[in-house]
Amino acid sequence: MAIDYTILTDLAQCDAADADVTFELKTFAARDINADVADERADRSKTDITAQLSKVTGEISSLDYRLAEPGLDAKVLSDLTDEREALVVLRKKLTKCSQQVTGTNRFLAQVDVEQIAQQVALLTTVKAGIATRRAALSS
């Protein structure tokens, strides 16, 4: 549907519409900056989570090796088993966090970025239309 700029019947309406569209453009610029920051945060989180997962997996492997040692007394066996179970829980949590950083949330962030770009293009076109209408009313 084409925008009907003839609805703007005087210069004051053109100026008010232009100010509103300019403000709307600022809100989308802010959303764009926030999306960039969120994307950077996701990259950093992914790197951090990957490092943590690697460390936890190594610790679990180390505990598996120690648990396989013959002759462990019951207390040591219990302590090592408890520590391993806690690390397995942590690994599951980190795995879920990793999926959140790289999964559908990241995809939807890309959708939002595209939506912002299209909205900015539309609003820029609208500002040009308002300027054209204002010029027509000025003559």
| Phi, psi for 10 (deg, rounded to 5) | -150, 170
Q: Is the pLDDT of residue 36 over 80?
A: no
DSSP code per residue over 99-124: HHHHSHHHHHHHHHHHHHHHHHHHHH
Contact in structure between 21 and 130 (CB atoms under 8 Å): yes
Q: According to the model, what pLDDT value does residue 115 have?
A: 86
Question: 47-72 pLDDT, tens per residue?
Answer: 788 888 888 889 989 989 999 999 98
Q: Is the pLDDT of residue 109 over 80?
A: no
What is the rounded average pLDDT of the residues 85-90? 88
Q: According to the model, what pLDDT value does residue 9 have?
A: 96
Q: Return the closest-CA partner of residue 81 out of 61, 69, 64.
A: 64
Locate 52 and state its tokens.
């943590």
What is the rounded average pLDDT of the residues 67-96? 88
Locate 36 and state its tokens.
């960039």
What is the rounded average pLDDT of the residues 92-118? 76
What is the rounded average pLDDT of the residues 86-99? 82
Share of the chain above pLDDT 70, in %: 95
Helix spans in the chain (H): 11-67, 74-102, 104-138
Q: According to the model, what pLDDT value does residue 125 have?
A: 93
Predicted confidence band at 95 (pLDDT cuts at 50, 70, 90)?
confident
Q: Is the pLDDT of residue 108 over 80?
A: no
Report long-range pairs for 119-128 (Cβ below 8 Å, ≥24 apart): 119/28, 120/25, 120/28, 120/29, 120/32, 123/21, 123/24, 123/25, 123/28, 124/25, 126/3, 126/21, 127/18, 127/21, 127/22, 127/25
